[in-house]
Amino acid sequence: MTSKSAYIGGMTWGWTGVRGTWTGAHAERSMELMTERLSVNWTAIALGALQDHAQSTEIKFRDEPTVTDDEVRHAIRKAKELELKVCLKPVINCADGTWRAHINFFDLDVPCEPKWSDWFASYTAFILHYARIAEETGCEMLCVGCEMVQTDRREIEWRQLIAEVRQVYSGIITYNCDKYQEGQINWWDAVDVISSSGYYPIDAWEEQLDRIEEVVAKYDKPFFFMEAGCPSREGSQHIPNDWGLPGAPSEEVQRRYYETMFANADKRDFVGGFMLWDWPARLYEESEAASNDDYCMYGKQAEQTVRDYYAAKIAESVKEGTAK
C-alpha cells in the first residue's frame, strides 16, 4: 500500500479531537511515546465533528469542540517529523450521544422531513474540507467515513462523494465500515483500500476472517483493519466494541486479545495491517496503567505485544519489498 513498507502497523491518535488538546507539550509527548513504544509506521489522526442528533442534516465541523484546522495541521506535521505515514480520519458523532451508525432518513423524500440529499450535502462539505487539508499536508491516506451503517446502502451518494474527493485529494482513499458489515457494501470498487472495524470476540476471529476474505477476493482490493482493539478490562475480550462494559481492570485480558488477534491475522495474507484503537492526545500517567481499563495500552502488557508484532511485520514487509 505504500512504497517504503506495504504493511500498515498503525495506531489511532488524538480521538475525539477536542479543541485545545492537540498542541502543546502533552500532545507532542503523547505522539512521541506512541511512536517509540509501539514501533508504528502509520497513524490515523482522528477527529470528531458533531451534528445535533441522528436526523440532523447539519454537521458543525467548524465549531467547538472540534479541533481547529491549525491543530489538525500541527498534528500531521508532528507525525511527519516522527516519520509516520498519516491517514486523516474525520468522523461525525451525534451531540445527543446517539451512535453515528444510526444516522438515517427516509429512502423517499417526504415534504417537511429531513432528507438524505441535505445530509449528504453537509457531509460532503465536511469531508472535502479535510480532503483539502490532507492534500495540502501530504497525508498518504484519507478515510471518508467511519461505521456509518445506515448510510452504507446509499450507494449513489457515496460514489458521488468519493468522485468529488478525488478532485481535490490525490492519495489513498478508504472507508471504514463497521464490524460485520464488510459484505453489505456494494461500492467497495470506488475506494482504493477496503477497511473495517475489527472488534470481534476473541474466539470468533477465524470465522470472521473467513467471511471477510470472501469480500476482499470479490473486489480484489487491499484490506486492513482501520480499527481494532480491546479495553484492558475483564469481559472485554468477548465484546471488545463495548467501551462501557462493566468489569475490573485487566492487562492480561487485553494482552491475550492482541495475541489471539495477531496470531489469527498472521494466517491470512489478505490482512494488510491494523490501525489500532486508540492513543489519546493526553496520556494517563504510566504509574496508573494497571488501573486504567480503556483501549490505550500505554504502560500495559499489550504494549510490548504490539511493539514486537509491528516491528517484526514491518521488517518482513520491507525485506519483501527490497527483494522485489
pLDDT band with cut points at 50, 70 and 90 for residue 319:
confident
**Region 204-223: what's the mean pLDDT?**
98
CATH number of 8-323: 3.20.20.80
Residue 320 has a pLDDT of: 84
- What is the residue-wise DSSP string for 227-263? E----SBTTTTTSTT-TT----B-HHHHHHHHHHHHH
| Percentage of residues in the chain having pLDDT higher than 70 | 98
Q: Tell me which long-range contacts 118-123 makes (C-beta under 8 A, separation of at least 24).
A: 118/57, 119/56, 119/57, 120/154, 120/157, 120/160, 120/161, 121/57, 122/51, 122/57, 122/58, 122/59, 123/59, 123/92, 123/161
Residue 5 has a pLDDT of: 53
* Residues 6 or more apart in contact with residue 12 via CB below 8 angstroms: 43, 44, 46, 89, 227, 275, 276, 277, 278, 279
Break the chain into its structural domains and give their ranges: 8-323
Residue 263 burial class via C-beta count within 10 angstroms: exposed 0-12, middle 13-18, buried 19 and up? exposed
**Region 293-316: what's the mean pLDDT?**
98
**Region 1-17: what's the mean pLDDT?**
83
Cell of 85: 505515514
Residue 324 has a pLDDT of: 59
d(CA 231, CA 240): 7
**pLDDT of 307 above 60:** yes
Structure confidence by residue, pLDDT tens digits, 217-274: 999 999 999 999 999 999 999 999 999 999 999 999 999 999 999 999 999 999 999 9
**pLDDT of 179 above 80:** yes
φ/ψ (deg, to 5) at 79: -60, -40
Residue 20 has a pLDDT of: 98
Residue 4 has a pLDDT of: 43
Amino acid at 249: P
**pLDDT of 323 above 90:** no
Task: Output the CA–CA distances (angstroms, integers) from residue 175 to 38, 68, 172, 189, in the order listed.
Answer: 25, 23, 10, 11
Structure confidence by residue, pLDDT tens digits, 118-136: 999 999 999 999 999 999 9
**Region 275-291: what's the mean pLDDT?**
98
d(CA 53, CA 102): 10
The helix or strand, by DSSP H or E, that contains position 72, with its residue range, turns out to be helix 69-81
pLDDT band with cut points at 50, 70 and 90 for residue 2:
very low
The residues with which 208 forms a beta bridge, in sequence order, are none
CA 81 from chain centre, in angstroms, equals 21
User: Please, are residues 43 and 11 in contact by the beta-carbon 8 Å criterion?
Assistant: yes
**Region 80-97: what's the mean pLDDT?**
98
User: Please, are residues 200 and 241 in contact by the beta-carbon 8 Å criterion?
Assistant: no
Residue 183 CB coordination number (10 Å): 13
pLDDT band with cut points at 50, 70 and 90 for residue 47:
very high
- The bridge status of strand 172-177 relative to strand 193-197 is parallel
Residue 3 has a pLDDT of: 41
What integer best gives the mean pLDDT of the chain? 97
User: Please, are residues 58 and 100 in contact by the beta-carbon 8 Å criterion?
Assistant: no
* Residues 6 or more apart in contact with residue 93 via CB below 8 angstroms: 16, 48, 49, 50, 51, 100
d(CA 159, CA 188): 9
d(CA 255, CA 237): 10
**Region 188-206: what's the mean pLDDT?**
98
